[in-house]
Amino acid sequence: MKHTASLPDRSMLLIASTIISGIIAYVMILQKNNIESYFVTPVVMFFCFNLYFASAWNVSRVAKIVAFVGVLFIGIPMIGFTNSLYLQVAVTICIFAAMSLGLNVVVGFAGLLDLGYAAFFAVGAYLWAIFGGTQANEFIAGNLFPLNGNLVFIFIPIALFVAAGVGALLGLPVLKVKGDYLAIITLGLGEVIRVLANNLNKPINITNGSQGVRIAPNPETSPLAFITVPLSEATGIPFFQMQLTMYYVLVLLVVLAVVIFTSRLDNSRIGRAWVAMREDEVAAQAMGIPLVRTKLIAFATGASFAGAMGVLYAAVIGFINPNDFNFERSTQILAMVVLGGLGSIPGVIFGAAIVVSLNQLVLVEISRVIGLLNLPPRFDPTQYQQLIYGVILISMMIVRPKGLIPAKRNPAKLENLEHGELAKGVK
Amino acid sequence: MLLNVEKARKVFGGLVAVNDVTFQVPEKTIISVIGPNGAGKTTFFNMITGIYQPTSGVINFDGKSLIGLRPDEVTTKGIARTFQNIRLFGAMTTLENVLVGRHSRAKTSYLDAILHNSTYKADERAGLLRAKELLEFVGLLDKRDELAANLPYGEQRRLEIARALATNPKLILLDEPTAGMNPQETEATKHLIRRLRDDQGITVVLIEHDMRVVMTISDNVTVLDYGTKIAEGLPHEVRNNPQVIEAYLGRGAAAGEFGKTAEGGEAA
Ligand SMILES: Nc1ncnc2c1ncn2[C@@H]1O[C@H](COP(=O)(O)OP(=O)(O)OP(=O)(O)O)[C@@H](O)[C@H]1O
Ligand SMILES: [Mg+2]
């Protein structure tokens, strides 16, 4: 409380900055054909900074909402119409943000180091890729597949429960061991799922092995087509452009749901038990917290988010293969969590945004420049992503162990209690 | 008897840390467990609270056996404790530490928490009210938003007591509650422990090195030495018991005079 009071209120500054970035984006749309693609990048960065300011500055609630709605629901789609690359990146960011929020429950809140998180992502992704594409015809007779794309909304809850179940099943033996052992066992489990995905193409072809599974894009049956088709006809925006925008809105809403979900858990008996366990297992247990069960809930919660996002990933990207779910993927998600701030919800989203943009924008751009300069391909930074995650993890541990936006504990709301609430009386 | 321990024994490898100790705690009393360093006092607490399983013996609480229960199950049965080396949840606020103590008494399920339904709201409100009461009781209400790790030492000890009380115990085990406190703080803590029994009706067992505290607040004192119970009785009886004097002073004198160099030599 003391700390926030001493910071100046910057609400006006934030609103102004949001409006300015909006105007710039609008001008860009008008001048669409005269604008070089590299002009877009700084504008996008400007947007991102607004979001960062909204989370890090001391601003009023209204200003925060203006900034978030302005940037996320208006700014980014506007940019998307000039350059769909950014919209694609934004979709990927949202998918990974939701997933790292799930890992944040496991690693950030409950303090369980999970190095095989991508396994649950794989469970969800394969679930949809197999049934949402034609792959299921390989082992189910009757040529029933692909399923209608809108069934993805049924598969998301299915994946939620399947991944939670797989998580609980794998977690039960694992969560009885401590710290470092847990990290190593989850690392192994992650690999097991990848190897399964790689080899379950014989005797029955379930996963199509290392070839991966593709869902053919189809304007008729793709998810949300019932909105996308009429919208695209009405506005004259090409179908796939419109679809991308719809996907973006969809994953954004999913992130919003996940944020509400995890922050509610965090502020409840369950979330407090997680943090207590992370801080001191012996004391937590002495406070009546059953360790294995509480860890299992954290583990299954994280897994279920990854499973659900796997379904969306498969639906939106349309192609998956076993290497999408390797150890590198798990470290990538972990890097997002650690970079943003263990246990910090805004931090983790921000971490996801940075890591994804780094991969899909910055590194790609650098490697393009290297190509132009005729430097040898070994200088291509996209080859070194694993190294970059390592550097991120280690340097964050040294320089800012609490992450870019450190987790805050909420001050007590006793004041509300005293006025009225208290009078009602509680048994 | 609220707590009835019979012939409890704990062996670590070759070391008998607690040697067939029989120990009884009537309801609404304050019992002190004393003894030189390494006497097995903390191990004794750890056996009662389920952190260690006894090698042999009987531990009954409220007529039911505690053997085989996990620490969280023991807590749910109504035994709370504090730790000799303070074990607060450092990254949580003072108030949150107390709220964690309510874990086993709160009813919010996973679904309730996500839905923010009436169970959740009633539970949170009840929790906050209770936490507020307890923080007031130990005098830490104005520090409620402070991180536990940032509290001074004496306040951390009191917060541990508030957190333990939040589990709604019938019996509270305090492991050296005044360790590291100055005389004023010690006096206040003594007063607090008395109020635990008199105002809240909670039975207290404490491990304590400060004899002034032990002698003034205990209804009964049990003395351990090398894991064995060597005396038990009213404070003044124990104080004048030759075996107790020897356990303390005998070794103290030896350590003070010629033991010092021998111990120093051993350590080096
Ligand atoms: N987990 C353990 N493994 C092996 N030996 C242990 C363990 N816990 C305690 N001991 C040993 O048991 C004996 C009793 O220790 P305990 O901590 O119970 O003593 P204490 O009476 O609480 O001493 P102090 O007054 O110093 O706190 C000591 O010799 C100690 O080294
Ligand atoms: Mg001890």
Gap from CA of B186 to ligand 2 centroid (Å): 18
pLDDT value of position B255? 45
Residue A382 CB-density burial (10 A; 0-12 exposed, 13-18 middle, 19+ buried):
middle
Give the chain B residue whose CA is nearest to the CA of A290. Answer: B72
pLDDT one-digit tens code per residue, A96-105: 999 999 999 9
Are the beta carbons of A268 and B108 separated by less than 8 Å? yes
Give A180's contacts (C-beta < 8 A, 6+ positions apart). Answer: A113
Burial of A397 from C-beta contacts in 10 A (0-12 / 13-18 / 19+): exposed
Q: Residue A268 and residue B120: Cβ atoms within 8 Å?
A: yes
pLDDT at A279: 94
The SS3 assignment for B263 reads helix
The shortest C-alpha distance from B258 to chain A (Å) reads: 39
What's at A315, amino acid-wise? A
Q: Tell me how crowded residue A393 is: count the other CB atoms within 10 A of its CB.
A: 16
Q: Which residues contact A229 (CB under 8 A, 6 or more apart)?
A: A219, A239
Closest approach of chain A CAs to the CA of B141, in angstroms? 10
Report the gap between the CA of A280 and the closest CA in chain B (Å): 6
d(CA A173, CA B25): 39
**How many residues does the structure list for chain A?**
427
Give residue A6's pLDDT.
54
pLDDT at A418: 54
pLDDT (0 to 100) of residue A416: 59
Long-range contacts of A394-403 (CB under 8 A, 24+ apart): A396/A338, A396/A339, A397/A338, A402/A341, A402/A342, A402/A344, A403/A338, A403/A339, A403/A340, A403/A341, A403/A342, A403/A344, A403/A347, A403/A351
What's residue A415's pLDDT?
Answer: 62
The Cα–Cα gap between A185 and A117 comes to 11
pLDDT in tens, A266-302: 999 999 999 999 999 999 999 999 999 999 999 999 9
B42 lines ligand 1 (CB under 6 A): yes
Query: So what's the ipTM on this one?
Result: 0.91
Instruction: Determine the average pLDDT of the residues in B123-144.
Output: 94
pLDDT at A342: 92
Contact B89 A279 (CB under 8 A): yes
Q: What is the pLDDT of residue A407?
A: 87
Which residues in B lie closer than 8 A to residue A280 (C-beta atoms)? 87-90
Could you tell me which of A162, A109, A94 has the C-alpha nearest to residue A303?
A162
* pLDDT 10s digits, A366-399: 778 877 887 777 777 777 777 888 888 888 888 8
Probe site for chain A from B42, B47, B96, B143 (most A CB atoms < 10 A):
B96
Mean pLDDT of chain A: 85
Between positions 149 and 178 of B, the ones with CB within 8 A of A are 163, 166-167
- For range B208-227, the mean pLDDT: 93
Q: How distant, in Å, are the alpha carbons of A358, A360, A366, A380 from that of A375?
A: 21, 20, 11, 9
Sign of CA dihedral A76, A80, A83, A84: positive
Whose tokens are 């593709």? That residue is: A214
Look at residue A47 in the predicted model and tell me its pLDDT: 83
CA distance A373 to A197: 39
Question: B24 φ, ψ to 5°?
Answer: -125, 140
Q: Band of the pLDDT at A413, cuts 50, 70, 90?
A: low
- The predicted structure's pLDDT at residue A12: 87
d(CA B70, CA B266): 38
Q: Which of residues 134-153 of B touch A (CB under 8 A)?
A: 144-145, 147
Domain ranges of chain A: 1-82, 85-327
Give mean pLDDT, residues B250-254.
53
Most confident range, picked from A152-166, A173-187, A369-383: A152-166
What was the pLDDT predicted at A424? 40
Question: In this predicted structure, what is the pLDDT of residue A56?
Answer: 77
pTM: predicted TM-score of the whole model, two decimal places: 0.89
- Token pair belonging to B58: 């009987």
- Which residue in A112, A110, A306 sits closest to A193, CA to CA? A306
Least confident of A413-422, B156-165, B227-236: A413-422
pLDDT value of residue A294: 94
